[in-house]
Amino acid sequence: MIRAHRIALAPNNRQATYFARAAGTARFAYNWALAEWQCQYAAWKQDNSLPKPSQVALRRHLNAVKREQFPWMLEVTKTAPQMAIIQLGEAFRNFFAGRARYPRFRKKGVHDRFTLTNDQFRVEGSRIRIPNLGWVRMRESLRFTGKIMSATVSRVADRWFVSITVDT
């Protein structure tokens, strides 16, 4: 069974700035991929010989252009933009299956978040290690035991939280 534990973080100013940058990078990658998806889909509708847009192709395209066009993306963990594009792919999969509405662009300050995969962070006691940042204090320790799947760092009312997903 997959369970999630949401824990408040106690970041210092440098860590909170890093979280804001990572959330902004994830939001930018999501919005960029959504705009690219719409352009590629419109081109595919005109000419069916072109490939359909996919999240894998968009991730490869972003990785190819981010060093020249978006060098500021390299300041944060690589999984922030990757997971945002994967989440966009899931949003389109749910849309085409009829389970959700068409994906919308994300806005600054509304549900700011970024996701880390299980190989990108480590939890020890009441602290979490985030790539390119180091150890961040958590207000409590993780209460579930099992395989850690992912972590999502989010901001609510200028407080930062981490939601750790565990397969118990």
What's the whole-number mean pLDDT along residues 7-26?
95
Asked whether 131 and 93 are in contact (CB, 8 A), the reply is no
Burial of 18 (0-12, 13-18, 19+ CB in 10 A): buried
Q: What is the mean pLDDT of the chain?
A: 93
How many Å apart are CA 25 and CA 114, to the nearest integer?
8
Residue 125's region, left for phi above 0, alpha for psi from -120 to 50, else beta, is: left
| Per-residue model confidence as pLDDT tens digits over 112-168 | 999 999 889 999 989 999 988 999 999 999 998 899 999 999 999 989 999 999 998
95 DSSP 8-state letter: H
How many Å apart are CA 53 and CA 3, to the nearest integer?
32
Bridge-based pairing state of the strands 113-117 and 122-124: unpaired
Instruction: Indicate the pLDDT class of residue 65, thresholds 50, 70 and 90.
Output: very high
Total-model pTM: 0.91
Q: What are the extents of the domains in the chain?
A: 2-167
Tokens 């997903």 sit at which residue? 165
**What confidence score (pLDDT) does residue 62 get?**
93
**What confidence score (pLDDT) does residue 48 get?**
84
Indicate the SS3 state at residue 38: helix
How many Å apart are CA 23 and CA 33, to the nearest integer?
15
- Residue 49: pLDDT over 90: no
- Residue 103: pLDDT over 90: yes
**What confidence score (pLDDT) does residue 3 get?**
93
- Residue 50: pLDDT over 90: no
Instruction: Indicate the pLDDT class of residue 34, thresholds 50, 70 and 90.
Output: very high
**What confidence score (pLDDT) does residue 29 get?**
95
How many Å apart are CA 152 and CA 90, to the nearest integer?
16
